[in-house]
Amino acid sequence: MSILLSKAQRQHHVDSPYWSDYYNHIVDPYLEICNNKENLVICYGDSWTWGDSLGNVNVPRGIDDVDFRSKNIYACHLSQHLNADFVNYAVPGVYNYWIHDRLDILLEHDLNRLCDQYSKIYIVVTLTELGRDFDLDLYITDFHKFYPWDHDPDTSGKKLLEQAEKFDFHKLRSIQDQLPDNCQLIVGRNFTNTQPNNLGIVKNLISKNWTEVLLAHQGITPISGVLIMSHGLDRFDNFMRDQQLDTAEYKQWVIDEIGVTAKKQLDFLNNSVYNYKKKTKHPTPAGHELWANYLVDYITENGL
Q: What's the domain range around 66?
A: 7-301
Backbone angles phi, psi at 43, to 5 degrees: -115, 135
User: Does some domain include residue 2?
Assistant: no
pLDDT digits (tens, 9 = 90+) for 183-199: 999 999 999 999 999 99
Q: What is the DSSP string of 214-243?
A: HHHTTTPPPPS-----STHHHHHHHHHHHT
pLDDT of residue 113: 94
Q: How far, in Å, CA of 204 to CA of 179, rounded?
A: 13
| CATH code of 184's domain | 3.40.50
Residue 239 lies in a domain: yes
The verdict on pTM exceeding 0.85 is yes
Residue 290 pLDDT more than 70?
yes
In a domain, residue 1? The reply is no
Distance CA 44, CA 96 (A): 10
Assess if residue 158 is contained within a domain: yes
Average pLDDT of the chain?
A: 93
Instruction: Provide the number of structural domains found in the chain.
Output: 1
pLDDT tier, 27 (very low <50, low <70, confident <90, very high otherwise)? confident
Mean pLDDT on 172-186: 98
HSE-CB for 153 with a 13 A CA cutoff: 0
So what's the pLDDT on residue 64?
94
- Say if 216 falls within a structural domain: yes
pLDDT of 56-108, one tens digit each?
998 888 899 999 999 999 999 999 999 999 999 999 989 999 999 899 989 98
pLDDT for 23 beyond 50: no
| pLDDT of amino acid 15 | 52
CA distances from 113 to 5, 91, 116, 117, 183 (A): 11, 25, 5, 6, 12
Does residue 269 sit within a domain?
yes
Confirm whether 166 is domain-assigned.
yes
Greater model confidence, 278 or 117: 117
pLDDT tens track for 267-286: 999 999 999 998 789 999 99
